[in-house]
């Protein structure tokens, strides 16, 4: 089996400002011994990347800005919504590593990749490693991240791109047979199932993989954690109660939290922090004033989120009454990313991923994302996965269904002599 980058969470932001790097070796394509199913760089994962405090802070701010931009587009859909910005950012950072020219510029703009590539990829490496370093008390806490690349058998990928995947993302190039699209799709989806603890079972929908597909980049995030102090689901102070939805009131199962949770407010909103065991991860609940939800959503930016987070320094202890919830969101991100300015990557005439294969024959044909979340009195289970599908620009017929009149020619290929020729208008006669 191919390696994935699976670990568990960091104790603090400083964990991902690491001070030394492994010495870099030479890059070469290789097949992992004993598997015959992976094309891999000879270089190892850099487990101590050199990342400055400024770069760490920049990536955090940029990822927050992207998360807010993504919310601004996705909010147009009806109902509940969950997505995993970290999963999307990591998957598209791997794609960005193979982009060039205007294609790379648009990806950087849409994703808020403001660091130059030579600093961006180590910063993502450090972030991944920090997120998946276990906290001091990891009982009841799990955060795992996995990255993988899936390349078509016989297609050549540049050694430099394989180096990038190996060193900064811990991913090799798994070899699959896109000549048989459905088994390849099932293989990739099974990897997602395995790396999200069966939470996401069908990331790539039917038809996402075709005979033109040459590469799929995947990321999977799985999170399960108990509250530092559990809610009381049976508290007499919080029986089932009314929840005011945009379309009318409903009855929801409410949970009362301990009266020691940080609560604070700002202009037009209130917020609370719900910490998980280990004290390294927190759910922030933001509640706009009654009747202002749409306006608050519309004004949400990365800076607004940053201000909300910073406001916790003024918090005072209080109790939080929260409903249980559980749902799944499936999203095709192509239109969303185009709205954010990432357009060339999807266009046959302009896409430039020459950093992947040395040519300009690849474009992104799909970016799919799925996320799940379940919150109850004990804690939270959430998962997210992203897949970016790269296909050849030149058209390849996926099938030819001969279901109408046709001509036929039987030709001797050496001499060119036509031995038989005819037509079929009704094959049943």
pLDDT mean over 396-402:
52
Task: Please give the backbone phi and psi of residue 64, each rounded to the nearest 5 degrees, phi first.
Answer: -65, -40
Task: Express each pLDDT in 283-315 by its tens digit.
Answer: 899 999 988 999 999 999 999 999 999 999 999
Q: Are the C-beta atoms of 256 and 321 separated by less than 8 Å?
A: yes
Q: Pick the residue with more confidence: 289 or 34?
A: 289
115's tokens:
């660091």
Q: Please state which architecture CATH assigns to domain 241-325.
A: Roll (2.30)
Give domain 13-226+327-392's CATH superfamily.
Antithrombin, subunit I, domain 2 (3.30.497.10)
Q: How far lies 410's CA from each of 399, 417, 420, 427, 428, in Å?
A: 21, 9, 5, 17, 21
Question: How many Å apart are CA 123 and CA 97, to the nearest integer?
Answer: 13
pLDDT higher than 50, residue 22: no
Residues 150, 154: Cα–Cα separation, whole Å: 12
What per-residue confidence (pLDDT) applies to 175? Answer: 95
pLDDT digits (tens, 9 = 90+) for 93-127: 999 999 999 999 999 999 999 999 999 999 999 99
Short-list 87, 69, 89, CA closest to 372: 87
d(CA 243, CA 254): 9
Name the pLDDT band for 36 (thresholds 50, 70, 90): very low
146/155 Cα distance (integer angstroms) = 23
Do residues 343 and 95 lie in contact, with contact meaning Cβ atoms separated by under 8 Å? no
| Residue scoring higher pLDDT (231 or 333) | 333
User: What residue spans define the domains of the chain?
Assistant: 13-226+327-392, 241-325
pLDDT tens for residues 209-249? Answer: 999 999 999 999 999 999 999 987 655 555 678 888 888 88
Q: Which two tokens stand for residue 427?
A: 């094959």
What pLDDT score was predicted for residue 413?
A: 65
**Cα gap 281→65, rounded to integer Å:** 19
At a CB cut-off of 8 Å and minimum separation 6, what does 319 contact? 256, 257, 258, 259, 261
pLDDT band at 40 (very low <50, low <70, confident <90, very high): confident
* Least confidently predicted of 14-23, 227-236, 274-283, 383-392: 14-23
Q: What's the pLDDT at 92? A: 98
- pLDDT for the residue 239: 61
Residue 190 class from Cβ within 10 Å (0-12 exposed, 13-18 middle, 19+ buried)?
A: exposed
pLDDT at 54: 97
Range in 184-188, 336-340, 398-402 with the lowest mean pLDDT: 398-402
> How high is the pLDDT of residue 14?
29
pLDDT at 82: 92
Residue 429: what pLDDT? 55
Residue of 3 and 110 predicted with greater confidence? 110
Query: What CA–CA distances, in Å, run from 208 to 198, 199, 202, 215?
Result: 20, 20, 11, 12
Mean per-residue pLDDT, 19-32: 30
Q: How far apart are CA 309 and CA 261, in angstroms?
A: 15
């Amino acid at each position: 089996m191919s390696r994935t980058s699976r670990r568990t969470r960091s104790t603090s932001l400083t964990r991902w400002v690491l001070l030394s790097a492994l010495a870099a070796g030479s890059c070469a394509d290789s097949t992992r011994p004993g598997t015959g199913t992976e094309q891999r760089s000879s270089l190892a994962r850099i487990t101590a990347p050199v990342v400055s405090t400024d770069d760490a802070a920049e990536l955090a701010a940029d990822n927050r800005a992207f998360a807010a931009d993504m919310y601004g587009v996705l909010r147009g859909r009806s109902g509940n919504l969950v997505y995993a910005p970290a999963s999307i950012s990591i998957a598209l950072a791997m794609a960005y590593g193979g982009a060039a020219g205007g294609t790379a510029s648009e990806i950087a703009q849409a994703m808020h990749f403001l660091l130059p590539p030579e600093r961006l990829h180590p910063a993502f490496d450090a972030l991944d490693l920090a997120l998946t370093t276990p906290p001091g008390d990891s009982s009841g806490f799990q955060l795992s991240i996995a990255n993988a690349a899936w390349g078509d058998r016989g297609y050549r990928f540049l050694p430099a791109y394989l180096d990038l995947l190996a060193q900064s993302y811990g991913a090799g190039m798994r070899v699959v047979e896109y000549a048989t699209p459905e088994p390849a799709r099932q293989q990739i989806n099974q990897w997602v199932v395995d790396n999200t603890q069966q939470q996401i079972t069908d990331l790539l929908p039917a038809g996402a993989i075709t005979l033109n597909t040459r590469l799929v980049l995947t990321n999977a995030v799985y999170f399960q954690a108990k509250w530092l102090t559990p809610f009381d689901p049976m508290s007499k102070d919080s029986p089932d109660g009314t929840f005011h939805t945009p379309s009318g009131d409903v009855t929801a199962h409410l949970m009362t939290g301990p009266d020691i949770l940080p609560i604070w407010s700002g202009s037009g909103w209130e917020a609370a922090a719900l910490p998980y065991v280990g004290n390294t991860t927190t759910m922030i609940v933001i509640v706009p004033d009654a009747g202002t939800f749409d306006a608050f959503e519309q004004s949400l930016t990365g800076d607004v989120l940053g201000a909300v987070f910073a406001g916790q320094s003024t918090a005072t202890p209080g109790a939080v009454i929260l409903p249980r919830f559980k749902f799944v969101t499936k999203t095709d991100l192509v239109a969303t990313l185009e709205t954010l300015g990432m357009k060339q990557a999807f266009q046959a005439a302009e896409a430039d991923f020459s950093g992947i294969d040395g040519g300009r024959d690849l474009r992104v044909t799909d970016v799919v994302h799925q996320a799940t979340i379940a919150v109850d009195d004990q804690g939270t289970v959430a998962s997210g996965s992203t897949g970016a599908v790269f296909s050849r620009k030149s058209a390849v017929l996926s099938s030819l269904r001969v279901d109408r009149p046709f001509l036929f020619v039987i030709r001797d290929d050496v001499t060119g002599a036509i031995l038989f020729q005819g037509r079929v208008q009704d094959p049943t006669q």
